[in-house]
Amino acid sequence: MRRIAFAVSALWLAVVLLAASAGNIVVSGQLLAYQDGYVFFTTGDGFHVAQDIVIRDAKTGGPTALHPAPRIWARATFDPNGRVTELDLSRAPLAPQGSFADVARFAVALSSPVPNPDLLDAATTPPPGQTTVATQHFSGRPVLVTFIVQVPPYTPFTSSIYIATDQSGWNAQAIPMDRVDALHYQITRRFASGTVFRYLYNRGSLQTQEIAQNGLARKPRELVVTDADVRVLRDTVYAWQDAAPGGLNQVQPQIMPTPYNPAPFPNLPPGLPPPQPPAGKPPR
């Protein structure tokens, strides 16, 4: 008889606990603020905090020295009235649990929600021709971007070609490229969609940077990485700053002393006499 009574009591207790837990919702996220009787998550939503809120360590379930504050990760337990009754805190990110969509109805806000015309519908496909940042949706997915550049025909065959970008502080050798034929180099890099950066091609230094077709310094090219599996960019370099056409007579600042006589063979053996007219026949 006693055994049956114990079993019935246990069953009743289990049912009560189950019923109680069924009314609670647990959500994990990062705290934005904890003040004025509210706890705010980085969604921007603020929720009422129960007066007898329990604060625990998320890992051990025991007491914690952490206080609810910005950047702290928390697992929040909501009672059926939408009050947060328990916060389990952690400095490290917590495994995702629950959904803020389930507790959105508990978020406290004085004003009624108003649509924001600035925000784009993620499902909307931008109309053809619209590629600007302000009107395009980016998912942030990794996109393989292949750069293929055609270089001037007088580019030395063993030249190394690089891409300098504002993302790397215009480091001249940030992205080295590989030669694919007599006139083309290519490289593939992975960028998150939505990445915007400016870039220029060079031959290893900013003194060997590309210039515009009209001989002037060119503005950096701008790339907006749009959502795609792969993107291929084909660019043309018309001239290099240090090696414009007709540059046989141009001198290199690294070489001192500079050979001022524009003769074509800089490393002839020392045993070779300098060019001379035939004996007895001075040039006219």
Contacts (CB under 8 A) with another protein, residues 227-256:
238-239, 244-246, 248-256
State how far the Cα of 67 lies from the Cα of 89, in Å rounded to an integer: 8
Residues comprising the chain, all counted: 284
Site for another protein in 40-69 (CB under 8 A): 40, 42-44, 46, 69
| Of the candidate residues 23, 63, 70, 80, the single one contacting another protein (CB under 8 A) | 70
Please state the closest distance from residue 284 (CB atom) to another protein, in A. 8
Q: Minimum Å distance from CB 28 to another protein?
A: 14
CB-wise, 51 or 111, nearer to another protein? 111
- Residue selected from 55, 183, 223, 224 as contacting another protein according to rule CB under 8 A: 183
Among 60, 125, 132, 267, contact with another protein (rule: CB under 8 A): 267
State the residue for tokens 């414009």. Answer: 244
Cα→Cα distances 4→1, 9, 15, 17, 44, Å: 5, 9, 16, 20, 52
**Half-sphere exposure (Cβ direction) of 96: Cα atoms closer than 13 Å:** 2
| Shorter beta-carbon distance to another protein: residue 60 or 111 | 111
DSSP 8-state symbol, 277: P
Q: Which of residues 191-220 bind another protein (CB under 8 A)?
A: 198, 200, 206, 212-217, 220
Please tell me whether residue 129 binds another protein under the rule CB under 8 A. no
Question: Distance between CA 246 and CA 243 in Å, rounded?
Answer: 8
Rounded CA-CA distance 86/93 in Å is 17
Beta bridge partners of 143: 191
Three-state DSSP class for residue 243: coil
Stretch that binds another protein, among 3-11, 75-83, 123-131, 144-152 (CB under 8 A): 144-152
